[in-house]
Structure 1
Amino acid sequence: MASRREIIVEWGKTDVGRAIFFMLLSTLGFTFMNVFVKYLVHFNAYELVFFRSLGSLFFTMGFLWQQRIPILGNQRKLLVLRGLAGVTSMTLFFMSLKYLPVGTSVSIRYIAPIFAALFAVVLLKERIKGWQWIFFLMSFVGVIVLKGFDGQVSFIGLSLAMGAAIASGLVFIIINKIGQGDHPVVVVNYFMLIATLVGGVLAIPYWVTPQGFEWLFLLSLGVFGFFGQLYMTKAFQGAKTNLVAPFKYMEVLFTGVIGFFWFDEIYGLWSLLGIFLIVGGLVLNVWYKSRQEPLAS
């Protein structure tokens, strides 16, 4: 009989195992990016988008040039669409951080896997089973609890974060549709190039020149964002959307803890209950899917 360690190692060799591992690495990268954006929230969201994208663009362009990978890719329409959906989600999320605690904003944004699953039903013809609908409803109830019972949750912030979630759900589907047809860095590079252009142009009327260490913090957004985006792309290219997407919710826990210690953000009982329902619904979905579908080999 195989030992627990042997089972874990063997599972880690599967496509699904690697995809989930990549997603966990992605959540760490995005966690540090989130808290730095919150720290820099006095800058306009468009300027934050510009610096976050410009920093990552340095890595993506350099990698593609070094590896002699064609920058334009193979599925250009899908790549452009992924970039536009991505910059929309990023901008709305950065805007929401002015109105919400960072942990709450991340929690609301990452109901994106639910929207991704709904999009997958329509666009990819994937099936959602009965229990999954219940778990998704549980997560939506968590959002309602956050807004309906926690008076500190701004309606403007909630709307912005929800918009970011919808756009992010579409991103998941587009990446899944791209599949293995393009290199992951090509996919990320399109996103970063489009976001740099859009963010740079829209930031012009609101531009504030960074001072001192602000330059370092702003440029670090691109570093953390690059690795978060790269591993998220690899994760979605390696496994089905419904299985991999919920692991992004670990970012809620990581970001909330840092927000508590760094920004002194206090989460009331209703906020914690709402976040628990959101995360719990997605975790249960992962557990259910793992029992219904054998791991890929």
Structure 2
Amino acid sequence: MVISALAFTFLNVFVKTLSNFSVYQIVFFRSIGSLFFTFPFLIKNKISFLGNKKGLLILRSVFGVTSMTLFFLSIRYIAMGTAVSIRYIAPIFAAFFALFFLKEKVRFIQWVFFAIAFLGVVILKGFDNNMQVEGIIYALVSALFSGLIFIIIRKIGNQDHPVVVVNYFMIISAVIGGLLAINSWKNPIGLEWLILMSLGVFGYFAQLYMTKAMQVGETNQVAPLKYLEVIFTMIIGLIWFGETYTIWSLIGILLIVLGLTLNVVTKRK
């Protein structure tokens, strides 16, 4: 999980580094890079590319590319650590949607922890005057679509291989990102090629090692470690980009991470 958090961190950092490229072009290269891993895996293991739940797979992919694009946009307006923290409130939206679409029950104590996390978002915007509202909105809507993705993946269940789900996501993201990037396309030069192609590599291994962590460890022990991404991203943001955090920003981020971590531990117990 620590390796996964580091991979996600470097993905965030390189996306911010590529601010002179359109966000759609970044989405395109992020997707193409991962396809170099998913295609060989499916071919080697003789798994069908089409999948079984085609409608849900397409819907999950559309929601996924929307969430990813909005998150990449958010880190152009606000500090990376703040954007990552807000994106992680997706479980709150997922729990809300699960009540209606999956008829799942959410314990009262979980709503208390969700309230703590959401209070952190309110503090970020309400008390930090340096925070740009566009970045907050982009990150919040990104989290909302991530919450919908949780529901769709639950609907897909075990009827499709996880790599098939990811492959659909990457193909549709590459197509949508590529088409939307045509008008603002900028040819990469030198090292920019390597950075753009590395996005897919970091994204793939971040997902891979997060999955492995869940498979070999107790969820309530390893899941909270994914929030190390917030700490790693904040540290690199401070050193690399000179990002600054007010005391209110730090309190808000702390509440978000605390509320979500308590929810994970309590839910699994």
Q: TM (normalized to structure 1)?
A: 0.84
Residues 220, 265 of structure 2: 8 Å contact kept: no
For residue 231 of structure 2, what is the aligned residue in structure 1?
253
Whole-angstrom distance in 1 between the partners of 2:95 and 2:223:
9
Are 1:158 and 2:139 matched, yes or no?
no
**170, 185, 191: which is aligned to 1:192?**
170
For residue 125 of structure 2, what is the aligned residue in structure 1?
147
Q: CA deviation at 1:79?
A: 0.8
For residue 207 of structure 2, what is the aligned residue in structure 1?
229
Q: SS of the counterpart of 1:56?
A: helix
Give, as a single letter, the amino acid of the residue that structure 1 aligns with 2:70: L
Q: SS of the counterpart of 1:180?
A: coil
Deviations 1:72-121 (A, max 9, x none): 11111111111001000000111111111111111111111111111122
> Which ranges of structure 2 fall in alignment gaps of 5 or more residues?
none
Residue range with higher mean Cα deviation, 86-95 or 178-187: 178-187
Give, as a single letter, the amino acid of the residue that structure 1 aligns with 2:34: S
Identity of aligned residues (%): 60
For residue 75 of structure 1, what is the aligned residue in structure 2?
53
| Residues 222 and 261 (structure 1), Cα distance of their counterparts in 2 relative to 1, 3 Å cut | same
Q: CA deviation at 1:50?
A: 0.4
Whole-angstrom distance in 1 between the partners of 2:237 and 2:260:
22
Q: CA deviation at 1:28?
A: 3.1
Name the count of aligned residue pairs: 268
Q: TM (normalized to structure 2)?
A: 0.92
Deviations 1:4-45 (A, max 9, x none): xxxxxxxxxxxxxxxxx5xx5543322221111011122110
Whole-angstrom distance in 1 between the partners of 2:93 and 2:43:
35
- The equivalences for 1:267-286 within 5 A come to 267-286=245-264
Whole-angstrom distance in 2 between the partners of 1:187 and 1:98:
28
For residue 29 of structure 2, what is the aligned residue in structure 1?
51
Q: CA deviation at 1:243?
A: 10
Whole-angstrom distance in 2 between the partners of 1:97 and 1:51:
17
Q: CA deviation at 1:256?
A: 1.4
Whole-angstrom distance in 2 between the partners of 1:280 and 1:228:
22
Q: CA deviation at 1:174?
A: 1.5
For residue 103 of structure 1, what is the aligned residue in structure 2?
81
Residues 113, 263 of structure 2: 8 Å contact kept: yes
> Which ranges of structure 1 fall in alignment gaps of 5 or more residues?
1-20, 292-297
Are 1:133 and 2:111 matched, yes or no?
yes
For residue 5 of structure 1, what is the aligned residue in structure 2?
none
Whole-angstrom distance in 2 between the partners of 1:212 and 1:252:
30
Give the CA RMSD over aligned residues. 2.4
Q: CA deviation at 1:124?
A: 1.8
Whole-angstrom distance in 2 between the partners of 1:182 and 1:27:
26
Residues 175, 233 of structure 1: 8 Å contact kept: no
